[in-house]
Structure formats: C-alpha cells, structure tokens
Amino acid sequence: CANAIYRKILTGRPRPSPVKVVDVFPFNMELDLLELRLWELDPVVDVFVIAEYAWDHKWSPKPPTFLRNTKRFDRFLHKIFHVIPTEEQMRVDGVLVNIEKHPRLFLVKHYVDTFGPSKSTVFVFGDVDEFPSTQHLWYLK
C-alpha cells in the first residue's frame, strides 16, 4: 500500500490468525431481509449485533419484532447479540438523538462493554438491507 498509515495492515498477506467479524446493523420489522442477511453472512460472520428500537422514527412506541419471532431464527440465535436501547441510552447530553445516527457507535461500545475489548475483532456496519460481500469479509478475516 502506498499510504504509510495503512502499510502495516494492508500488506496483501493473510493475518497470522483469523479475526472475529461482528456485523452491526439496526433492525425494524424487516423479518425477510433479516433472514436473508443471516443466511448469506452466516458462514463468515461470527456475531450479528442487531439493534432494535422500542420506537419508530417519530418516537412512537412499537413492540419488538425480533423477540416475537426468535423461533424463525433458531439456527442463528447462538450468533445473535440483540440490543434494545433504553430511552436513557438514546440521549446524548440529555437530548434524544436521531435513531438513524445513534446505533453504530453505541452498539460497538455496548458490545465491547459486554464482551470486552479485542484487537482481533473487525466491526462491519450497514443497514439490514445492505449486505456486505461475503468475499470481502473473508478477505478481512
């Protein structure tokens, strides 16, 4: 790599040992898309971090969809870290934040607080309908 910042990590050589790939994404009611994502990425992703909010984008309460449908995802439950942020966790400096902007960093922090930090973990971010390439994830791994 020509950029000195990345030269140590973008060497073109495989890692000495594979890293853990953690897929982080918000989820609303897109059960079919969630199922497709889990089937598609299961071979390469080690943990799926699913953020499901107790409110819609207008802050109207909504029931958790995933928890009412876990049987559908039995095959993947051992890899799923399901998070429902509280209203307190949705505040920054006392102000409710935009649901679209909230999940990424909060979820990484929540994951690290729960499982501990690791230099051998790679986080992948997207929406439930934005599937990363499994081939690219294998390269990261």
Domain ranges of the chain: 20-140
Coil, strand or helix at 16: coil
Out of 33-42, 87-96, 112-121, least confident range: 87-96
pLDDT digits (tens, 9 = 90+) for 30-69: 999 999 999 999 999 999 999 888 877 777 888 889 999 9
Coil, strand or helix at 103: helix
Out of 19-23, 35-39, 91-95, 115-119, least confident range: 91-95
Do 11 and 105 touch, CB atoms closer than 8 A? Answer: no
| Mean pLDDT, residues 125-135 | 91
The whole-number pLDDT of residue 111 equals 83
The whole-number pLDDT of residue 77 equals 98
Do 48 and 39 touch, CB atoms closer than 8 A? Answer: no
Amino acid identity of residue 108, one-letter, is V
To the nearest whole percent, how much of the chain has pLDDT over 70?
Answer: 87
| Mean pLDDT, residues 105-131 | 85
- From the list 65, 99, 97, the residue with the least C-alpha distance to 82 is 65
Q: Could you tell me the pTM of the whole model?
A: 0.83
Pairing of the two strands 20-27 and 47-52: parallel
